[in-house]
């Protein structure tokens, strides 16, 4: 089981909505978007507790934590 100090990630597929080609990473309780082409990363969300998995479909990231599952909309740049 993963905790907030472990890195988990998923890749955005080019052509599948927002964030195509970027890696979405949760590490130390923070969600980042990393662009390998520019070598830049931005923080999208902080204070994520006990993350276990992250997945992406279209413009929505689904983040599974030990106590909850929530979504982050990349087009709105907020938790939904």
Residue 42 forms beta bridges with which residues? Answer: 33
Assigned domain for 58 exists? yes
Q: What does pTM read for this prediction?
A: 0.88
Considering the domain boundaries, does residue 34 fall inside one? Answer: yes
Structural domain boundaries enclosing 46: 8-79
Sequence-distant (6+) residues with CB within 8 A of 34 are 22, 23, 24, 25, 40, 41
Q: Beta strands 22-27 and 8-11: pairing type?
A: antiparallel
In a domain, 2, yes or no: no
Tally of structural domains, the chain: 1
Each residue's pLDDT tens digit, 23-71? 999 999 999 999 999 999 999 999 999 999 999 999 999 999 999 999 9
Q: Is residue 54 in a domain?
A: yes
HSE of 78 in the Cβ direction (CA atoms, 13 Å)? Answer: 2
**36 domain-assigned:** yes
């Amino acid at each position: 089981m993963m905790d907030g100090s472990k890195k988990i990630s998923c890749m955005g597929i080019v052509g599948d909505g927002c964030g195509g080609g970027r890696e979405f990473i949760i590490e130390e309780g923070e969600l980042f978007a990393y662009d390998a082409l520019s070598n830049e990363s931005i923080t999208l969300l902080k204070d994520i507790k006990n993350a276990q998995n992250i997945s992406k479909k279209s413009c929505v990231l689904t983040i599974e934590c030990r106590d909850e599952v929530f979504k982050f909309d990349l087009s709105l740049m907020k938790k939904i």
